[in-house]
Amino acid sequence: MSEQYNSLDESINKYREDFPILKRKIRDNKTLVYLDNAATTQKPIQVIDAISNYYSNVNSNVHRGIHALSEEASELYESAHQVTSDFIGAGFKELIFTKNTTEGLNIVANGFLDRLHKGDEIVLSRFEHHSNLVPFQQLAHKTGAIIKFIETENYEMLDLASAEKVITDKTKLVSFPHMSNVLGSISPVKELTKIAHEHGASVLVDAAQSVPHMKVDVKDIDCEFLAFAGHKMLAPMGSGGLYGKEEELEKLSPLLFGGDMIRSVSFEDATWNELPWKFEAGTPNVGGGIGLGAAVEYLNDIGMDKVRKIEHYLTDYAMKRLAELDYITVYGPPADQRGGVISFNVNGGKNGIFVHPHDVSTIMDEEGIAIRAGHHCAQPLMEAMCVPATSRMSFYIYNTKEEIDLTIDTLESVQKIFNS
C-alpha cells in the first residue's frame, strides 16, 4: 500500500511541474497552496500553449471563410469537439460547446418551455447548485409545472427511496448533480436515470463536479442530457459542454439565434443548421474550445481512473487529519462515497465558539492557502443544514499531502486565535 501511495506522490509532483501558477509566491513570499479546485482549476502549460498558438498563429473565425487561417481554425475547433465528445462517450453531433455548465442547463430549460404544461412535474434534488435550481424555478413559473425534490439521507447521499416516491408518471424532467459541490456526495446516476425512465421522464445530469474528476460515460448512464464546465477541468473559463442524445437535441429549440446556427434564411423565416452547430449561435469561443480540447488530451494522457485515485488518496488523508481535531465538523459522506471536496466548519469544540468561514478563509489566505468560504451557490442546502456557510477545500491532480498538513496546522492556529 505504501508503494502505491509513493507512486501517487511521485505522479502528483510530476504533474505540478506543468502548472506555472503553483510556483507563484504570495502573501509575504509564501508559496501558493491552491485548494479551491471545485470553483475553478489551474491551467497546465500544455493548455496555455494551445491557446497561445491559436491567437498567435491561427486567429480567425470558424465556418465562415475559405482562406487558410479560417480553415485551420475550423479544423482545430472541430478537432476539439471530437476529442471532447469522445471523452464522455458521446457522438460528434451530440456535444454542444457552451461557455459553462450554467449555459448548458439553461439551454435544456429553455428547450422544455414548449414541452411542459400546467401540472407537469420537474424533479430536482436538495443538493442543487443555484445553476440547476433557478432555471427550473423560472421554467415552472412560465409553464405552470410543479417542482418536487429528491430528499437526502442525513445530508450525505441522495435517497433512492425518496426518488422512487417523488418521480411519477407526471414527471417530465429529472435533474440532479452527479457530484455535490458542497458535500462531495456522488449520486447514483444510473439508478436515478432508470427510475426516471420507468416513468417516461427525461434526465439531465449536472456533471460540473464529475466530468473533471472521474470517468463519465453518457451512454452507460443513459441520460438524455449532461452539462459540464471546461474551467473546472484545466481548460479556460468560458468553455464547457452540453451533451444531448441526438434525437433529443433535434427536438430541442435553440436558446440563441443568429449566425452559424442557421441553414438558410429569408426575410420571412429561417431553418436551423445541423447538430451541434444548431446550438452554437454567433462567433464561438474558438480559443476556449481549443483550450478545452487540449485539457481533455492532458487528462486522457493521465487517465481518469488515475485522476480519481489521486483525489481519493488526498480526500481520505485530509478527512483523517481533520478527524484528529475535535473542534472541526465535516459535512457529507465518508471518503469512499465522495469526490475531492470537503466542506467543514470550525465549531470551537467543547465550550468553544463557532468561527465564521470568512474568518477561517482570511487566516488561511494570510498563509498563502486558497480555500472557499460561503454557501457555495447552494444557499437552500445551507439553510436546510442549519449552517450559515461552510469552509471548503477541494483537490485536484497537483495537490499534495504536505499542502493538507499545512492547512491542518493553520486550522489549529485559527482555533487558538478564536478560542484561546
Query: Would you name the residues annotated as active-site residues?
Result: 377
Residue 346 bridge partners (DSSP): 328, 355
Which residues neighbour 39 within 8 Å (Cβ) at sequence distance 6 or greater? 232, 372, 394
The conformation of residue 179, written as its DSSP 8-state character, comes to: B
Three-state SS at 121: strand
The C-alpha cell of 243 is what? Answer: 451533451
Q: Among residues 321, 349, 348, 319, which one has the least CA distance to residue 331? A: 319
Task: Count the alpha carbons within 13 Å of 416 in the hemisphere toward its beta carbon.
Answer: 7
Q: Quote the cell numbers at residue 126.
A: 436538495
Q: In angstroms, what CA-CA distances link 239 with 31, 142, 340?
A: 29, 29, 22
Cα–Cα distance measured from residue 254 to residue 281, given in angstroms and rounded to the nearest whole number: 9
Helices (H), 159-265: 160-166, 189-198, 218-221, 246-251
List of long-range contacts for 371-375, beta carbons under 8 Å, 24+ apart:
371/35, 371/36, 371/407, 372/36, 372/38, 372/39
> Between the CA of residue 380 and those of 130, 204, 227, 332, 388, what are the distances in Å?
9, 20, 21, 16, 10
Please give the helix or strand (H or E) that residue 33 lies within, else none: strand 33-34
DSSP SS3 for 171:
strand
Question: Could you give the CA distance from residue 84 to residue 93 in angstroms, rounded to a whole number?
Answer: 12
Task: Please state, in angstroms and rounded to a whole number, the distance separating the CA atoms of residues 137 and 160.
Answer: 23
- Do you know the residue count of the chain? 420
C-alpha grid cell, residue 370? 486558497
By CB neighbour count within 10 A (0-12 exposed, 13-18 middle, 19+ buried), where does 121 fall?
Answer: buried
How far is 125 from 307, CA to CA, in rounded Å? Answer: 27
